[in-house]
Amino acid sequence: MTYTVKAVAEIAGVSVRALHHYDEIGLLKPASVSPSGYRQYGDPDLDRLQQILFFRELGFSLQEIKQIIDSPGFDRKKALLTHKELLLEKQRRLHALIQSVEQSIDAIESGKAMEKDAMFEAFNDSKLVAYREEAKARWGHGDAWKESEKRTSRYGKEDWLTVKAELQAISQNLAALMDRDPADPVVQEGVGRWWNMINERFYTVTPEIFRGLGNMYVADPRFTATYEKVKPGMAQFMQQAMRIYADAMEANG
């Protein structure tokens, strides 16, 4: 079956302009073009578009998505299973937020103070962040993904609270050092703590993966926003400092 660009836009909930752009950059080219110049899409094109939209949900850039789904080793089923994990985690977080709202209402009606930890626990998105980092590692380094999945599957509430505290402590320390050169030994020591946290908590971090994470902090608006909230310019600072650390790791073997 074939579909016009307008029909695909309506089915997928994307704009015609976006589909034209995907065609122009080679991300989603129509199966054929009619003699009158109209794009015609087939069912395999819709499968590919679905995958594109899933990867967008994970925060990948269009160029990254193209490289991933065009790679010879791309496995659509494995990718979908990963997307499922992320969506289930979002579902769990939404459920926790609803529970938090209900508990807050109960506390107001009963006149009893709500436990402070319970007030903010539902806003902890460290696991979602971890899944996105794992996804980045997954499609460039399958072993890293499997390792991370194995480790984090054992984490409970206290583990994630510990991870969150570590993330905050290390990032605040690095933010306080932003007046220094990213290559400054003190900055690099702090970056080393960042590398060690990811390496111990999630997966073995190679220089290539660490450099890629730094690039993602700038390329992915959601990660950029996270670090900009800590201190303006921090995402760029992290990228530079992590690149220097990764280069040094490679140089030292």
Low-confidence ranges of the chain (pLDDT < 70): 58-59, 89-90, 92-97, 100, 103, 112-149, 152, 253
Q: According to the model, what pLDDT value does residue 204 have?
A: 79
Bridge-partner residues for 39, per DSSP?
Answer: 33
Averaged pLDDT of the chain: 79
Question: Quick check: helix, strand or coil at residue 3?
Answer: strand
CA–CA gap between residue 244 and residue 183 (Å, rounded): 7
Phi, psi of 176 (to 5 degrees): -70, -15
Beta strands in 94-139 (DSSP E): none
CA–CA gap between residue 245 and residue 253 (Å, rounded): 12
Q: According to the model, what pLDDT value does residue 48 have?
A: 92
Contact 239, 215 (CB under 8 A): yes
Pairing status of strand 32-33 against strand 39-41? antiparallel
Tell me the percentage of the chain whose pLDDT exceeds 70: 77
Q: Which residues, 6 or more positions from 90, have their beta carbon under 8 angstroms from its beta carbon?
A: 128
Q: Model pTM?
A: 0.46
